[in-house]
A and B are shown apart, each in its own frame.
Chain A
Amino acid sequence: MNSELVVSIKGHAGAFSLSADFDSSQGIAGVFGHSGSGKTTLLKMIAGLVRPDAGKIMLGERILFDAGAGIDVPASQRRTGFVFQDGRLFPHMSVRNNLVYAQRFGRRDNRRALGDVTGLLGLDQLLDRKPFTLSGGERQRVAIGRALLADPDLLLMDEPLSSLDHARRQEVLPYLERVREETAVPIIYVSHEIDEIARLADTLVVLSQGAVIASGPTVEVFGRIDLGPALGRYEAGAMVDGKVAAIDEAFGLATVIVGGEKFELVAHGLEVGNSVRMRIRARDVAVASTRPTGISIRNCISATVDQINRETGAYGELLLTVGDQALRARITRKSLVELNISKGSKVFALLKAVSVERRALASGDGTVARVPDKT
């Protein structure tokens, strides 16, 4: 199914011009930006809930909006499922009636069976409940199911987890991964939580003040040192892909090969042969000019300095290459000077923490593992 989405619009909330290409196998396109960056407006324009001033929106072969040609397909006919931040379940209907709303009142085909969707999202026990009796996580799962049952060509998710606490997020995230893996509906996932984006998004669009400032495969965008302010310095980091090469059962550690270098992670849930995606925050990476000894940090990776961003404050940022992959390190400018680091320097990167964001070949319940830093 060709469901490439091409968006090039201008609206009151700012000027967007973005072209997000994905087919159904490519899953989730993340849209990241801080609040006020225009994320929700962009989604609403795609869904037909907010009218852009100018431009064009195409979904596959279908023109959803074309200001020049005077085309503005109403929201009810765009076939874009919308999962709202606050769920927006109909309070006067049972969960079941919420789920079948599109089929009963929206003239949508019944291509997906109710049972399949309730099974996928774990809703079987909730069907006769009223929305007000549901927990936040349950509510969002019902909202996702309701959107799926409208048989959409594209799912738009507007920070679906932001109204939930941490525990509830962890409850819903695996379901989102199941939706990605089992439904073949492309998803645009808007969030200002870097963790969610890192875990879910295959491709990434970064919005800042109503404009797209970067887009591309998630790993590449995360590796860009110049996006510091937009991605948030504190959470900034690189994403690396690796493969589990060995498991040390005795100590509960896994060896993961990244760019030819060995990383050690907590083995929890990992198996030999798993592909893993890890996010390593720049502030969790220290740099040494010689290999340190007598230190508890187990990950000491030899790397090459590729870029130096000195900024103006106390900190500077390094972009390091490890084989074909990139790491980011945030260290003080004074250290930069004292270690005499320049472009091309050979250094050792010390990793204090690594989060496993996704185990691509595993069942889909992505657990977050930490490197054993002070063992």
Chain B
Amino acid sequence: MDNTIAGIIFLSVRVALTAVIFALPFAFGVAWLLARYTFPGKGLLQALVTLPLVLPPVVTGYILLLWFGTNGPVGSFLLHTFGFEFAFRWTGAALAAAVMAFPLLVRPIRLSLETIDRGLEEAAETLGASRLMVFATVTFPLALPGILAGAILAFAKALGEFGATITFVSNIPGETQTLSLAVYSLLQSPDGDRMVMVLIAAAITLAVAAVLCSEWLSGRLRRRISP
């Protein structure tokens, strides 16, 4: 039984981490676009990014199923070209978690990009740094607290994701049954209470650890640049 608990926690962390790591570059790109540029359709992009936050998760999950399912346009393309499958796999759970956590990732990154003094980038340019070097040595380090805050928030959200996951990849023990889904299943069975308590303790521990870690890191980053 311990093995199963460990398995569930391991799967949940794996799904959540994968979701955050793969969503991060996309989220940064979108945050960059929203923070730095004005273009036609900016409002639409903004709405699209916020959508998973306001849509019922079941609806998001169903849309994912339609698009990324084995018969969906993207899903069948991936399956036939790369032999890669989302449907009813842990990777699908990660995709669902990534989509649901995406708005939480974009917002803090966008805010931190918006608060960076563009004058510092100009200064770096006059000192001879190329655009890429300016990004690597000035913009990125200064955006790091925002990126970190977004990543932790998204990780916590991905860890607890339920509705979109169960709709998209179902509730398959050992494959897609993450912590929340396991708690849900165990509550349906008459003798699952003890295991539920263990899983809840694990969930609380993970959440608290994530928040502490984020506080500690952002505190360190802040002390680098201000009193």
What residues of chain A have their CB less than 8 Å away from a CB belonging to chain B? Answer: 47-49, 74-82, 84, 86, 88, 90-92, 101-102, 105-108, 130, 132-133, 146-147, 150
Please report the total number of B residues contacting A with Cβ < 8 Å.
22
How many Å from the CB of A148 to the closest CB on chain B?
Answer: 11
Q: Report Cα–Cα, A326/B227, bound state, in Å.
A: 53
Q: Report Cα–Cα, A86/B124, bound state, in Å.
A: 14
A92 surroundings in chain B (CB, below 8 A): 141-142, 224-225
Partner pick for B125 among A74, A90, A107, A146, CB 8 A cutoff: A74
B141 surroundings in chain A (CB, below 8 A): 92
| CB pair A107 B120 closer than 8 Å | no
| CB pair B125 A132 closer than 8 Å | no
With A91-B225, A130-B224 known as contacts, the answer to whether A80 contacts B128 (CB < 8 A) is no
B122 at the interface (CB under 8 A from A): yes
Residue of B nearest to A106 (CB): B128
Q: Report Cα–Cα, A54/B123, bound state, in Å.
A: 24
Q: Report Cα–Cα, A230/B140, bound state, in Å.
A: 44
B126 surroundings in chain A (CB, below 8 A): 47-49, 75-76, 78, 80-82, 147, 150
| CB pair A130 B225 closer than 8 Å | yes
A130 surroundings in chain B (CB, below 8 A): 224-225
**Cβ contacts A to B, 14 pairs, < 8 Å:** A76-B125, A78-B126, A88-B117, A88-B119, A91-B120, A91-B142, A91-B225, A91-B226, A92-B142, A92-B224, A106-B129, A107-B128, A147-B127, A150-B127
Instruction: Among A77, A91, A108, find the residue whose CB has the most chain B CB atoms closer than 10 A.
Output: A91
| CB pair B227 A132 closer than 8 Å | yes
B71 at the interface (CB under 8 A from A): no
Chain B residues touching A, majority SS: helix
Q: Report Cα–Cα, A108/B129, bound state, in Å.
A: 9
A108 surroundings in chain B (CB, below 8 A): 127-128
Instruction: Among A74, A80, A86, A106, find the residue whose CB has the most chain B CB atoms closer than 10 A.
Output: A106
Q: Report Cα–Cα, A84/B129, bound state, in Å.
A: 17
Residue of A nearest to B223 (CB): A130
With A91-B225, A92-B225, A132-B225 known as contacts, the answer to whether A146 contacts B127 (CB < 8 A) is yes
Residue of B nearest to A156 (CB): B126
Q: A49-B125, A77-B128, A92-B224 are in contact. List 10 more A-B contacts (CB 8 A).
A: A76-B129, A78-B126, A86-B119, A88-B120, A90-B120, A90-B138, A91-B120, A92-B142, A106-B127, A150-B126
Q: Report Cα–Cα, A215/B142, bound state, in Å.
A: 42
Residue of A nearest to B225 (CB): A91
Q: Report Cα–Cα, A88/B117, bound state, in Å.
A: 9
With A84-B119, A91-B226, A132-B225 known as contacts, the answer to whether A102 contacts B128 (CB < 8 A) is yes
B137 at the interface (CB under 8 A from A): yes
Residue of A nearest to B221 (CB): A92
B212 at the interface (CB under 8 A from A): no
Q: Report Cα–Cα, A90/B126, bound state, in Å.
A: 13
Interface string of B197-227 (1 = CB under 8 A from A): 0000000000000000000000000001111
B130 at the interface (CB under 8 A from A): yes
| CB pair B119 A75 closer than 8 Å | no
B59 at the interface (CB under 8 A from A): no
Instruction: Among B119, B127, B131, B141, find the residue whose CB has the most chain A CB atoms closer than 10 A.
Output: B127
With A76-B129, A105-B137 known as contacts, the answer to whether A88 contacts B123 (CB < 8 A) is yes
Instruction: Among B122, B126, B224, B227, find the residue whose CB has the most chain A CB atoms closer than 10 A.
Output: B126
Residue of A nearest to B137 (CB): A105
A76 surroundings in chain B (CB, below 8 A): 125-131
| CB pair B127 A105 closer than 8 Å | yes
Q: Report Cα–Cα, A357/B225, bound state, in Å.
A: 38
B138 surroundings in chain A (CB, below 8 A): 90
Q: Report Cα–Cα, A194/B77, bound state, in Å.
A: 71
Residue of A nearest to B144 (CB): A92
Interface string of B90-128 (1 = CB under 8 A from A): 000000000000000000000000000101101111111
B48 at the interface (CB under 8 A from A): no
Interface string of B1-14 (1 = CB under 8 A from A): 00000000000000
